[in-house]
Structure 1
Amino acid sequence: MTAFRYIFSAAVLIWVLGFLWFTVTLPQPAAKVATDAVIVPTGGAGRIAQGLAVLDAGLAKKMLVTGVDPEVTSAEFAAEFKVDAARMECCITLGFAAVDTRSNATETAEWVDANAITSLRLVTTDWHMRRAAGELDRTLPPSITVVRDAVPSAPSTGSLFLEYHKLLASRAAGLFGLRG
């Protein structure tokens, strides 16, 4: 019984230290380096604006917004984010197939392959970056360079708690080869 208590205590300590690491060391915005494309999963404030800023700065030529609601039209997106028609036509793809972080990675991998992309900038919220990047790492070929560009936020403890557990589940699924 004593051995069980030590193992349980060690597991709880590792969990607590992991959660502290997760919350204290949230990913940061990336340096201004150029990539072929910018990938923006929907779902968090500031993500699309940051992706468009990357395009405007000339740090990428194309942008995929993955996980767009199927009811959103290109015209509605353009109006919402003040994107002119020429920019929408040449440079921005709206992806409607993804419904979660894992399918964002799948949709991204298909788009990357279809567009001969060799480097990309992943723009997502700081608390979401580790899981989104991990899913991309498992989905994209190793030859694709991924620059992580986190959008700073002020998440609640509850949001961090939930995301930490999603990250643990995602890593466990990847470790054991469990894919949906």
Structure 2
Amino acid sequence: MIVRRVLSVLLLAWAFGFIWFAVSLPRPAAATPADAVVVPTGGKGRIDHAIALLHAGETRQVFVSGVDREVRPVEFALEYGVDSAHMACCVTLGFDALDTRSNAREIAAWVAREKPRGLRLVTSDWHMRRAAYELRRRLPPGFPVTEDAVPTNPSFRILFLEYHKLIAARLVGPFEPD
């Protein structure tokens, strides 16, 4: 009897959590300057938005994490409309990340080297919660991170998978060695 009640409560918590996750996706950030913008590759519109922030003068630096090793900076610049001056001074490509956790590690290492005063994290709305969680775990406590979600139209499948990845990250995260 008690097992059935516990399972019922867990099922309800899971269901209400999924509904909350799906209907309250993070939103774009207000137009405010940021010391640096970081963007994990992987979703449509992420890099475009980060580069637009650079061109609009809302940031001094853009770090793109998880770039395929075969992509050359000149190819990246052509693809995203970045002039050579901005590529030289203001856009850094990271080639070591393969997933959200390694994106967070790569971004945290870049932050340790470059020492920005704060970050603006740009990623897809459905990906923001997990990406921000993983990143904040690896940054110094209280380090300012503004979440700037790129609006998408995610499928049920994407939301379902991402919700479970977020749950797994939260359950495993505290026990995972960095």
Same fold (TM over 0.5): yes
Inter-CA distance 14–37: structure 2 relative to 1 (3 Å threshold): same
Number of residue equivalences:
178
TM-score, normalised to structure 1, is 0.96
Matched residue type, 2:17: G
Report the counterpart of residue 39 of structure 2 in structure 1: 40
Shift of 1:142: 1.7
1:90 has 2:89 as partner:
yes
Report the counterpart of residue 145 of structure 1 in structure 2: 144
1:75 has 2:74 as partner:
yes
- Aligned alpha-carbon RMSD (Å): 1.0
TM-score, normalised to structure 2, is 0.97
Shift of 1:16: 0.2
1:173, 1:179 within 8 Å by CA — same for their partners in 2?
no
Rounded Cα–Cα distance in structure 1 between residues aligned with 2:133 and 2:16: 20
| Structure 1 residue ranges, 4+ long, deviating more than 4 angstroms after superposition | none
Shift of 1:143: 4.0
CA distances 1:48-101 after superposition (whole Å, capped 9, x unpaired)? 010011111211100000000000000110111111111100100000010110
Shift of 1:35: 1.4
Shift of 1:138: 0.3
Shift of 1:179: 3.6
Report the counterpart of residue 113 of structure 2 in structure 1: 114
The farther-off stretch of 129-138 and 78-87 is: 78-87
Report the counterpart of residue 159 of structure 1 in structure 2: 158
Shift of 1:126: 0.1
Rounded Cα–Cα distance in structure 2 between residues aligned with 1:103 and 1:46: 21
The farther-off stretch of 103-112 and 122-131 is: 103-112
1:24-39 pair list within 5 angstroms: 24-39=23-38
| SS of structure 2 residue aligned to 1:27 | coil
Matched residue type, 1:91: C
Q: Which runs of 5+ in 1 are unaligned?
A: none
Report the counterpart of residue 65 of structure 1 in structure 2: 64
Aligned partner (choices 149, 163, 178) of residue 176 of structure 2: 178
Rounded Cα–Cα distance in structure 1 between residues aligned with 2:96 and 2:9: 41
Percent identical pairs in the alignment equals 54
Rounded Cα–Cα distance in structure 1 between residues aligned with 2:87 and 2:29: 24
Rounded Cα–Cα distance in structure 1 between residues aligned with 2:177 and 2:103: 14
Shift of 1:44: 0.1
1:99 has 2:72 as partner:
no
Q: Which runs of 5+ in 2 are unaligned?
A: none
Rounded Cα–Cα distance in structure 1 between residues aligned with 2:177 and 2:148: 26
CA distances 1:27-56 after superposition (whole Å, capped 9, x unpaired)? 000011111100010000000010011111
